[in-house]
Amino acid sequence: MRGNLPAPEGLAGGGASAALLGLSVEPTTAGAARLASAPSPCQRGSRGMLRQAPSARRVALAPAYILHQYAYRDTSRIVEAFTAEYGRLSLFARGANGPKSSLKGVLQPFQRLLLSWSGKTEACALVAAEIDGAPTNLGKERLMSGFYLNELLLKLTERWDPHPEIFFSYASCIEALCTGAGEEAALRRFEKRLLNELGYGLQLTMTEEGLPVEPDRYYRVAVERGPQTCVAEAPCAVYGRSLTDLDAESLEDARSLRDAKRVLRAAIDACLDGRSLKSREVMLALRQTQIRSPQREKL
């Protein structure tokens, strides 16, 4: 795997979610000021191309989701947003915590928004925000799955590197989580699509030798080489039908979901290049205290 993925960052939400996930955020004036006022640097995109924040401009009503935010001084916030047209970007929300701010209560995670901003630095000024469509309601039992999605985007995408298909895949997954659809299947589909769009897609239907995967055989999936035949007792062996089900995004049974999680986790871990996911660490801690928690095997 290539080593040009972005450095670790926080998770979605404000101070409450940051505290929940044990994040180390920068509430200090110096850290936020550096982000808000630094000149725009060139950045390397997920496919290795140079990306650069746009020159002075004003953008109105861009569809977006909030991935993470933290306080700056007394009443302002630094917001990390993910947009369909501009990718991931940082926005300076001046006065967002003030008692009369129109932004108060709007900048919520997992809610599709329309954001307007202006500026020429890497962190532009958020001008306005409004809810796009019906309010979303992600149940508390699925919040960790939402935080997991946000953390993947924060760690595996670059600023100002647009990925419209990832945006719409994220929106679809959030909708599935909110409406009670199968949680694990929704997460696996998003992971697969994310890897595909970032250029790290897996070969699931052809072996390293160029032969089609057979549903009734067992395989080991090498991230960079594809499936290799093996015996059922081999470490990390997955069923051939599970691979074809994952390729078709048809994850209907427990074995397909279990094998898909194993394959996709290995691929995502390779992309993370040794960096940990806070959402997984929290779920591990919960599993240690609540062995029978229904959330224990989702991420």
Q: pLDDT, tens digit, for every residue of 17-52?
A: 443 444 333 333 344 443 344 333 333 444 444 455
What gap in Å lies between CA 222 and CA 256, rounded to an integer? 18
Q: Are 37 and 30 in contact (CB under 8 A)?
A: no
Per-residue confidence (pLDDT) for residue 51, from 0 to 100: 57
Higher pLDDT, 203 or 21: 203
Per-residue confidence (pLDDT) for residue 295, from 0 to 100: 53
Is the model's pLDDT at 255 over the cut of 50?
Answer: yes
For 239-248, what is the mean pLDDT? 97
pLDDT bucket at 54, cuts 50 / 70 / 90: low
pLDDT bucket at 14, cuts 50 / 70 / 90: very low
pLDDT digits (tens, 9 = 90+) for 111-150: 999 999 999 877 799 999 999 989 999 999 999 999 999 9
Residue with tokens 């959402």: 279
pLDDT bucket at 98, cuts 50 / 70 / 90: confident
pLDDT digits (tens, 9 = 90+) for 261-287: 999 999 999 999 889 899 888 877 877
What gap in Å lies between CA 188 and CA 155, rounded to an integer? 17
Q: Are 265 and 272 in contact (CB under 8 A)?
A: no
pLDDT bucket at 176, cuts 50 / 70 / 90: very high
Q: What's the mean per-residue pLDDT of the chain?
A: 82
Per-residue confidence (pLDDT) for residue 169, from 0 to 100: 98
pLDDT bucket at 100, cuts 50 / 70 / 90: confident
DSSP string over the chain:
--S-PPPP---SSSHHHHHHTT-----SHHHHHHHHHSPPPEEE-TTS-EEE--SSEEEEEEEEEEEEEEEETTTEEEEEEEETTTEEEEEEETTTTSTT-TTTTT--BT--EEEEEEESSSEEEEEEEEE-SSPP---GGGHHHHHHHHHHHHHH--BT---HHHHHHHHHHHHHHHHT--HHHHHHHHHHHHHHHHT-PPP-SB-TTSPBPPTTSEEEEETTTEEEEE-TTSTT-EEHHHHHHHHHT---SHHHHHHHHHHHHHHHHHHHTT---HHHHHHHHHHHH-TT-TTTT--
Is the model's pLDDT at 177 over the cut of 50?
Answer: yes
Close Cβ partners of 268 (under 8 Å, ≥ 6 residues apart) = 152, 156, 191, 195
Q: Comparing 92-96, 128-132, 202-206, 284-288, which segment has the lowest mean pLDDT?
A: 284-288
Strand partners, 109: 66
